[in-house]
Amino acid sequence: MGYYISVQPNVNLYVEDVNPQGCKTIVFIHGWPASHRMFEYQFNQFPCRGYRCVGIDVRGFGNSDKPWEGYDYDRLADDIRCVMEAMGLEDVTLGGHSTGGAIAIRYMARHKGYGVSKLALFAAAAPSLIQRPYFPYGLPAEAVENIIQETLTDRPKMLRGFSEMFFFQYITQPFSDWFFQMGLQAAGWATAAVANSWLDEEKLFSDLAEIHVPTLILHGHHDRVCLFPLAIAQNEGIRNSRLVPFKYSGHGLLYDQRDKFNQELIEFIEA
């Protein structure tokens, strides 16, 4: 079941709600520059276990509206709150991949975990995707600046290059094309604006300490986008968190080790 939820005047987010009668609810926030469709191989399986899966397309991406403004983490977290309230969601597991993980962290801090009983972070872009003087573990800022410049001049080329960084395991050309098309569905200005947020955002460091629910951290050892030390920093900064390294995965751990990913998440939800 898919429908739109208003989060601001003239701004509506697309939400996919699979198995609304499920016993437990998982809310998925996708990574940059994809959509809720990136969780296809969770949506195929989790409802079979009785779970309700709610996938949100972040503004500017997927089927959601694509306004010119509103791509900072505060606004993106506020959008999630609007969805949670509109759908009456409570006692959910909130899961976010990459930038979606960063948005989930900001949501937990800014909205005091409203409606969330557990948090799951998948290759999350936190506490900082880029290197900073006090945090040398991210990407060079120049790498992100290049992504932004390529987005504004040759976005298809940028997306192809990004997909080459995304996976560690072999993927077929048709699968690569499918992933590429998800990125093309986003607005170019939204793609660049969210990437620019990676450069500006520093509050995630303090946000980690504001998380007070059980937290699962899944992260690939071979991640070339959100490097593995980010997961260690998350684990150190979030009380009651558990880090599960994925030895044979890159940034796309939910594809690289799909079965392990699904099983770890299911065990966390059922615990």
Q: Which residues are part of the catalytic machinery?
A: 98, 223, 251
Alpha-carbon gap, residue 42 to 207, rounded angstroms:
27
Q: Sheet harboring 2-8: ordered strands across?
A: 2-8, 11-18, 51-56, 24-29, 92-97, 116-122, 215-220, 241-246
- Strand 241-246 relative to strand 116-122: parallel, antiparallel, unpaired? unpaired
Alpha-carbon gap, residue 48 to 130, rounded angstroms:
38
Cβ pair 16, 259 in contact under 8 A: no
Residue 238: DSSP 8-state: S
- Strand 11-18 relative to strand 2-8: parallel, antiparallel, unpaired? antiparallel
Q: Shortest CA distance to 96 belongs to which of 138, 144, 54, 50?
A: 54
Q: Shortest CA distance to 64 belongs to which of 120, 115, 14?
A: 14
Residue 132: DSSP 8-state: B
Cα 62 to chain centroid distance, Å, stands at 13
